[in-house]
Structure 1
Amino acid sequence: MKTLLRLILSLTLIAGAEAADWQTARVPDKFDFTGTAWLRAWVKVHDSFFLKHERNLFEESVGVNIRDLTGAHEVWVNGKKIGTGGAFPPAYQSAGSTLFRHKVPVGTLRKGEWNEVAIRMHVPSGPGGFLGDAPFIMNYEQECIFEGEWEFRAGDDYKPGGALTQKPARAAFDSFHESQRVLGRTEQVHGPSLPPKESAAKMNAFDGLKTELVLSDPQIAQPFHFSFDERGRIWVAQTRQYPYPAGLTMLSRDKYYRAVYDKVPAAPPNHVRGADIISVHEDTDGDGVYDKHKVFVDGLNMANAAVRGHGGVWVMHVPYLLFYPDKDGDDVPDGPPVTHLSGFGFEDTHAQANGLVWGPDGWLYGCQGSGTSCRVRRPGLDAPDSPGAHFEGCMVWRYHPETRAFEIFAEGGGNTFGVEFDAQGRVYSGHNGGNTRGWHYIQGGFYLMQGVTPGKFGPPRNPYAFGDLPMMATTDPVVRFTHFGAFADGSAMPPKLAGMLFSIDPLHNEVIASRRMPRGSTFDTKDHGVVVKSSDAAFRPVYIANAPDGSIYVSDMYEFYIAHGQHYQNQIDPTTGRIYRIAGKDAKLETDINLAAKSTEQLIALLGHPNKWHRHTAARLLGERKDPKAAPALKEVIAKDTGLGAFNALWALHQSSGLDDATAVLALKHVNPSVRSWAARLLGDEYGINRNLGLPPARKEAQLLPTNVFDTLVAQAAAEKDAEVRSQFACTARRLADVQAFPLVAAVMGHDEDVNDPYIPLLCWWVFEAHIPSATSEVMEFFKARTLWDEPLVMQQVLPRVVRRFAVDGKRQELLLVAQLLKLAPGKEQATQLLKGFEEAFRGRAMTGLPEELITAMASSGGASLAIRLRQGDASAVREALAIVADAKAKPEDRLLYARSFGEVRSADAVPVLLKAATTDRSVELRKAAFASLGAYDQDSIAAGTLEALPKLPEEARAAALTLLSSRVRWTQALMAELQSGKLSLSLVPGDIADHLRMNRDKAISDAAAKLFPKATTTGYDFKKKLAEVETALTRGAGNPYQGETTFMQRCASCHKLFFKGGNIGPELTTYQRDNLGTMLISIVNPNAEIREGFQFITVETKDGRSIGGFQVDRDNQVTVLRGLDGQDVTLGAQDIKTVQPMGRSLMPEGMLEGLSEQQLRDFFAYLRISHPITK
Structure 2
Amino acid sequence: MKCFPIMIRWRFSSVIPLAFLALSVHAEQPAEVPAKTAVDRASVDAAKHTPENSAKQLKVREGLEVRLAAAEPDVVDPVSAAWSTDGKLWVVEMSDYPMPKPGQTERHGRIRVLSDRDASGRFKSSVTFADGLDFATGILPWQNGAIVTLAGEIVYLRDDNGDGQADTREVWFKGFTTGNEQLRANHPRLGPDGWVYVANGLRGGEIIAVDPRFRASKTPLKLQGRDFVFDPHGGEWGTVSGNSQHGLTIDGFNRRFGCSNRNPAIESVLSADVIDRDPFLTPGDAIADVGKSGFNSEVHPISNAWTTSNLHAGQFSAACGVTAPGWAIDDTSEWLLVCEPTGSLVQRQRMHWGNGTWKSEREANEAEWLASSDDWFRAVDLVPDVDGGVLVVDMVRAVIEHPHWAPIELQNRPDTWDGKELGRIWQVHVPNKQIKSVAVRDDASALEAIVSEDLLSRMLASDHLLAHYSPAAPPQANVIDSLARLLSDSAVAGESKARIAMLLNRWGALTPTQHASLLGEQDDRVRALAIKMRQGNRFDGNPVSSTAMLFSAFDDSALIVRQAALETLVASVDASELNDAKISQLVSLAIRDREAPWVLKLLTALPNEFASELLSASLPTPQSRATAVIPTSVFEGWMRRVSAKDPQRATELLVNWLSEAMPTGAAADQATQALVMQMAAAWSKGGGAKGTTSLSKEAADRITALDSLAASIAINDKHAVGTRLDAIEWCRKQPEFATELRALVDKAVDTTVRAAAYRVLMQRDTEWTKQQVLDQAESISPTDRVAVVTAVRGSVQTATWLLTEIGQGNLPRTFVDPSSMDWFRRHSDADLAKLGRETFAPAGDVLEVLREYESAAKEIETADVVQGKALFAQHCANCHRIDEVGHVVGPDISDSRTKTPEALLAAILDPSAAIDASYASYSILTVDGEAVSGLLAGESSDSVTLVIPGGHTRRFEREDIEIFRASSVSLMPEGMQRVMNVEQMRNLIGYLKRWRY
Deviation at 1:580, TM superposition (A): 1.6
Change (3 A) 1:538 1:247: closer
In the alignment, structure 1 residue 594 sits paired with structure 2 residue 413: no
Change (3 A) 1:779 1:326: farther
Which secondary structure does the structure 1 equivalent of 2:188 belong to? strand
Deviation at 1:242, TM superposition (A): 1.2
The answer for the alignment partner of 2:341 in structure 1 is: 506
Change (3 A) 1:524 1:868: closer
Deviation at 1:596, TM superposition (A): 2.0
| Matches for 1:348-363 after TM superposition, within 5 Å | 348-363=180-195
The answer for the alignment partner of 1:223 in structure 2 is: 78
2:449 maps to which of 594, 597, 606: 606
Q: Distance in 1 between matches of 2:526 and 2:392?
A: 31
In the alignment, structure 1 residue 339 sits paired with structure 2 residue 339: no
2:506 maps to which of 629, 633, 655: 655
Q: Distance in 1 between matches of 2:517 and 2:377?
A: 49
1:709 maps to which of 511, 524, 546: 546
Query: What percent identity do the matched residue pairs reach?
Result: 16
Deviation at 1:758, TM superposition (A): 5.5
Deviation at 1:510, TM superposition (A): 3.9
Which secondary structure does the structure 1 equivalent of 2:488 belong to? helix
The answer for the alignment partner of 2:87 in structure 1 is: 232
Which secondary structure does the structure 1 equivalent of 2:168 belong to? coil
Q: Is residue 247–residue 381 contact of structure 2 (8 Å, CA) maintained in 1? A: yes
The answer for the alignment partner of 2:31 in structure 1 is: none
Structure showing the higher helix proportion among its residues:
2
The answer for the alignment partner of 2:572 in structure 1 is: 736
Q: Is residue 243–residue 349 contact of structure 1 (8 Å, CA) maintained in 2? A: yes
Question: Per-residue displacement from partner, 1:670-717 (whole Å, max 9, x unpaired)?
Answer: 33322211122322785774xxxxxxxxxxxx75x57x733122202x
Which secondary structure does the structure 2 equivalent of 1:339 belong to? strand
1:419 maps to which of 237, 248, 269: 248
1:640 maps to which of 464, 489, 494: 489
Deviation at 1:928, TM superposition (A): 7.4
Deviation at 1:646, TM superposition (A): 1.6
**Greater shift after overlay, 318-327 or 858-867?**
858-867
**AA in 2 matched with 1:612:** L
Question: Per-residue displacement from partner, 1:795-828 (whole Å, max 9, x unpaired)?
Answer: 3442233446678xxx897698377346447647
The answer for the alignment partner of 1:295 in structure 2 is: 128
The alignment's TM-score, normalised by the length of structure 1, stands at 0.54
Deviation at 1:361, TM superposition (A): 1.3
Q: Is residue 896–residue 925 contact of structure 1 (8 Å, CA) maintained in 2? A: yes
The answer for the alignment partner of 2:145 in structure 1 is: 312
**Greater shift after overlay, 381-390 or 198-207?**
381-390
Which secondary structure does the structure 2 equivalent of 1:632 belong to? helix
2:383 maps to which of 522, 545, 565: 545
| Matches for 1:48-127 after TM superposition, within 5 Å | 57=6, 59-60=8-9
1:375 maps to which of 206, 224, 229: 206
Change (3 A) 1:351 1:1048: closer
Q: Is residue 804–residue 838 contact of structure 1 (8 Å, CA) maintained in 2? A: no
Q: Distance in 2 between matches of 1:544 and 1:944?
A: 62
In the alignment, structure 1 residue 400 sits paired with structure 2 residue 259: no
Q: Is residue 733–residue 740 contact of structure 1 (8 Å, CA) maintained in 2? A: no
The answer for the alignment partner of 2:116 in structure 1 is: 283
Q: Is residue 509–residue 539 contact of structure 1 (8 Å, CA) maintained in 2? A: yes
The answer for the alignment partner of 1:750 in structure 2 is: 589
Q: Considering only CA atoms, is the larger Rg found in Structure 1 or Structure 2? A: 1
Question: Per-residue displacement from partner, 1:813-859 (whole Å, max 9, x unpaired)?
Answer: 7698377346447647677446447669999x999999778843746
Deviation at 1:200, TM superposition (A): 3.0
| Matches for 1:849-864 after TM superposition, within 5 Å | 855-856=703-704, 858=706
The answer for the alignment partner of 2:400 in structure 1 is: 562
The answer for the alignment partner of 2:616 in structure 1 is: 784
Deviation at 1:330, TM superposition (A): 4.4
2:561 maps to which of 725, 736, 740: 725
The answer for the alignment partner of 1:926 in structure 2 is: 788
Deviation at 1:348, TM superposition (A): 3.2
Change (3 A) 1:1049 1:915: farther
| Matches for 1:609-624 after TM superposition, within 5 Å | 609-624=452-467
The runs of 5 or more residues in structure 1 that have no matched partner are 1-52, 64-104, 110-188, 250-271, 448-459, 690-701, 769-774, 937-941, 991-1039, 1051-1056, 1075-1091, 1096-1112, 1124-1144, 1149-1155, 1157-1176
Which secondary structure does the structure 2 equivalent of 1:297 belong to? strand
1:471 maps to which of 290, 296, 314: 290
Deviation at 1:216, TM superposition (A): 0.8
Q: Is residue 438–residue 484 contact of structure 1 (8 Å, CA) maintained in 2? A: no
Change (3 A) 1:243 1:573: same
Which secondary structure does the structure 2 equivalent of 1:295 belong to? strand
Which secondary structure does the structure 1 equivalent of 2:123 belong to? coil
Q: Distance in 1 between matches of 2:47 and 2:636?
A: 58
Q: Distance in 1 between matches of 2:942 and 2:189?
A: 42
Q: Distance in 2 between matches of 1:781 and 1:497?
A: 37
1:199 maps to which of 31, 54, 61: 54
The answer for the alignment partner of 1:1025 in structure 2 is: none
In the alignment, structure 1 residue 670 sits paired with structure 2 residue 521: yes
The answer for the alignment partner of 2:631 in structure 1 is: 795
Deviation at 1:720, TM superposition (A): 1.3
The answer for the alignment partner of 1:820 in structure 2 is: 653
- Give the total of aligned pairs: 769
Q: Is residue 800–residue 833 contact of structure 1 (8 Å, CA) maintained in 2? A: no
The answer for the alignment partner of 1:580 in structure 2 is: 426
Q: Distance in 2 between matches of 1:750 and 1:496?
A: 25
The alignment's TM-score, normalised by the length of structure 2, stands at 0.63
**Greater shift after overlay, 631-640 or 786-795?**
786-795
Q: Is residue 230–residue 236 contact of structure 2 (8 Å, CA) maintained in 1? A: yes
Q: Distance in 1 between matches of 2:521 and 2:424?
A: 44
Change (3 A) 1:1067 1:661: farther
The answer for the alignment partner of 2:897 in structure 1 is: none
Q: Distance in 2 between matches of 1:849 and 1:422?
A: 48
Q: Distance in 2 between matches of 1:509 and 1:356?
A: 25
**AA in 2 matched with 1:426:** R
Q: Distance in 2 between matches of 1:498 and 1:879?
A: 58
Which secondary structure does the structure 1 equivalent of 2:187 belong to? strand
| Matches for 1:1108-1147 after TM superposition, within 5 Å | none
Question: Per-residue displacement from partner, 1:93-124 (whole Å, max 9, x unpaired)?
Answer: xxxxxxxxxxxx98799xxxxxxxxxxxxxxx
Which secondary structure does the structure 2 equivalent of 1:366 belong to? strand
Deviation at 1:294, TM superposition (A): 1.8
Root-mean-square deviation (CA, aligned residues, Å) is: 5.9
Deviation at 1:193, TM superposition (A): 4.3
Deviation at 1:299, TM superposition (A): 0.1
In the alignment, structure 1 residue 627 sits paired with structure 2 residue 475: yes
**AA in 2 matched with 1:356:** P
In the alignment, structure 1 residue 444 sits paired with structure 2 residue 275: no
Which secondary structure does the structure 1 equivalent of 2:113 belong to? strand
| Matches for 1:674-689 after TM superposition, within 5 Å | 674-683=525-534, 686=537, 689=540
Q: Is residue 83–residue 89 contact of structure 2 (8 Å, CA) maintained in 1? A: yes
Which secondary structure does the structure 1 equivalent of 2:534 belong to? helix
Which secondary structure does the structure 2 equivalent of 1:679 belong to? helix
The answer for the alignment partner of 1:179 in structure 2 is: none
Q: Is residue 377–residue 394 contact of structure 2 (8 Å, CA) maintained in 1? A: yes
Q: Is residue 73–residue 422 contact of structure 2 (8 Å, CA) maintained in 1? A: yes
**AA in 1 matched with 2:493:** G
Deviation at 1:208, TM superposition (A): 3.2
Which secondary structure does the structure 2 equivalent of 1:664 belong to? helix
Change (3 A) 1:658 1:751: farther
Which secondary structure does the structure 2 equivalent of 1:582 belong to? strand
